[in-house]
Structure 1
Amino acid sequence: MSDNTSPPSTSNKLVAEALGTFLLVFGGVGTALFAANFPADAADNPLGVGFVGVALAFGLTVVAGAYAWGPISGGHFNPAITLGLAASGRFEWRNATGYIVAQILGGALATTFIVLIGLFGPEGWLQNAQDSGFASNGYGTGSFGSPGGFGLGAAIVAEVLLTAFFVLVILGVTSSSRGTAALAPLAIGLTLTLIHLISIPIDNTSVNPARSIATAIYGGPDALLQLWVFIVFPIVGGLLAGVLHRALFEPKGALPPAKAEARVK
């Protein structure tokens, strides 16, 4: 029996990437801003979800997005993942620009909706969120920067290392010969949760330039000045992971999936 289902179009894939990144940023950043320290004036923060809740929110959004839109676009939702997959041979370089633009737009739309909600929130809520950096990534001490006071060097090492391991896990669990497709989103989401548990105190956890851009837009001049770190070094980590995976785990001479499928046809 033949399968007449046509493959997703390019526009379908780009919309899926935008939706998935929107969910990731709205869910994770929204939890950080609305729920992490709720209520803000409570002596012992009895209701806020804290770092653990924020970490879980980012992980859960990836799981949900991967199950919902992964079958359409591959479920990258992150420029560092897109470029890492391209470096590994799993994704065509020519499609990377469209994916990255869709991811950035999806993330920016998510923080714009958070701002819209804040406009109708308690008096001063939105201004306080923006004055504190709007959950942006940062390094150094002061009113804006690393939650734990870690410097630039710590942020660079953390972003390269954790993004690389994140992409390596993604490449491993989505391998057609070694991975279990039905469980891959769970492994990816749990890995992202672990990454946040490790690095929220270091630099508020990026490992995703689209997430960093989305919050820096509303985080003020300090967030924008430090944004380059959270664009450059997650991408470096993703590219390193793609090259390492291809060198260590892929058979020599293996064709990327897209080219292999084209040859079969």
Structure 2
Amino acid sequence: MTGNRRTLHSALLELALTALMLFIVATTVRWLLGTLDPAAGGWWNTPEGRLLAVAPLSGYTVTAVMLSPWGRVTGGHINPAITLAMWRYGRTPGRDVAPFIAGQLLGSLLGIAAGRLVWGPVFASPTVDFAVIRPAPGWSWAAVAVIEAATMFVIVAVAGIGVSSRRLGPFTSWAVGTMIAAQILALGTLSGGIANPAREFGPALLSGDLSLLPVYLLAPPLGALAATVVINRINARRRTSARTPADRAPAPAPHP
């Protein structure tokens, strides 16, 4: 397979995987968050209570995607910020970055559109509203940006440590899924807790709520790129310190 065909094939896989993830998100929001009934009482009928189910379903869906046969082909990024990070870590060729991101964003639209088709008018109702993310009242765009960037910084830093270690590599997908679940539990009712531009792209466009879309699109990639700078420098220092004195010594000048 030539380079261009391989890139197209991988980008289409990212599109399909992202669409699948967003459809699972749509289904989760429809049947868990979309059926909240605070009047019924009980911890289960609160946003925090439902997040106990939403968080692991969302987080370990990402793990499952990464471990799937398709995910093993592309890396299972399903997140533009992760694609940028894997490029900076040297795991994704530069020519794949734009096609991957385009596929992820289009997949986001298709996954949410499929949710609307399958679940009907209730998916567009105010209680579900295309699974769009909104921060809690009082949260400014700056506060959301800081949290989203910081969350992605941590995820990408941990992923960078994992992909650069043969011993830790097999656990990276599980670590990423666990961190995503943890951020949803901790921040889901505050900043939104997504740190994935693709997670918000389709819902925002189809719901028409574009007020914070630029923040959700830009903050996670900035956090991801900042993390790669730190981890790449740490790895470079480790490689330098691991070299023997003989390796570091300058080569002797040739005799005339």
Q: Shorter-chain-normalised TM-score: which range?
A: 0.7 to 0.9
Asked if 1:232 corresponds to 2:218, the answer is yes
Please state how far the C-alpha of 1:128 moved relative to its aligned partner: 1.8
Counterpart CA distance in 2 for 1:40 and 1:229 is 30
Specify which of 6, 10, 21 is matched with residue 18 of structure 2: 21
Asked if 1:156 corresponds to 2:145, the answer is yes
202 and 195 in structure 1: CA distance in 2 versus 1, 3 angstrom threshold: same
Counterpart CA distance in 1 for 2:108 and 2:124 is 20
Counterpart CA distance in 1 for 2:207 and 2:84 is 26
Q: Where does residue 108 of structure 2 map in the other structure?
A: 107
Counterpart CA distance in 1 for 2:220 and 2:169 is 26
204 and 135 in structure 1: CA distance in 2 versus 1, 3 angstrom threshold: farther
Specify which of 198, 210, 231 is matched with residue 186 of structure 2: 198
Name the SS for the 2:35 alignment partner.
coil
1:12–1:72 Cα contact (<8 Å) kept? no
2:65–2:76 Cα contact (<8 Å) kept? yes
Counterpart CA distance in 1 for 2:178 and 2:65 is 13
Q: Where does residue 133 of structure 2 map in the other structure?
A: 137
Please state how far the C-alpha of 1:178 moved relative to its aligned partner: 4.1
1:148–1:201 Cα contact (<8 Å) kept? no
Could you say which structure has the higher helix fraction? 2
Task: Report the count of equivalent residues.
Answer: 234
Counterpart CA distance in 2 for 1:150 and 1:51 is 19
Counterpart CA distance in 2 for 1:218 and 1:42 is 29
Name the SS for the 1:204 alignment partner.
coil
Please state how far the C-alpha of 1:214 moved relative to its aligned partner: 1.3
Q: Where does residue 233 of structure 2 map in the other structure?
A: 247
Using structure 2 for the length normalisation, give the TM-score: 0.80
2:29–2:128 Cα contact (<8 Å) kept? no
2:80–2:196 Cα contact (<8 Å) kept? yes
Please state how far the C-alpha of 1:179 moved relative to its aligned partner: 1.9
Counterpart CA distance in 2 for 1:75 and 1:204 is 22
Q: Where does residue 38 of structure 1 map in the other structure?
A: 35
Asked if 1:11 corresponds to 2:12, the answer is no
Question: C-alpha deviations, 1:159-209, integer Å up to 9, x for none?
Answer: 01001111112222222434232x322111111111111211222222111
> Where does structure 2 lack aligned partners over 5 or more consecutive residues?
241-256
Please state how far the C-alpha of 1:148 moved relative to its aligned partner: 5.4
Q: Where does residue 249 of structure 2 map in the other structure?
A: none
Asked if 1:73 corresponds to 2:59, the answer is no
Question: Aligned residues: percent identity?
Answer: 27
Counterpart CA distance in 2 for 1:177 and 1:115 is 42
Counterpart CA distance in 1 for 2:65 and 2:187 is 22
127 and 188 in structure 1: CA distance in 2 versus 1, 3 angstrom threshold: closer
15 and 101 in structure 1: CA distance in 2 versus 1, 3 angstrom threshold: same
Counterpart CA distance in 2 for 1:28 and 1:171 is 26
Equivalent AA in structure 2 for residue 112 of structure 1: A
Question: C-alpha deviations, 1:12-68, integer Å up to 9, x for none?
Answer: 322321222123222224312322242547612657861121111211211111111
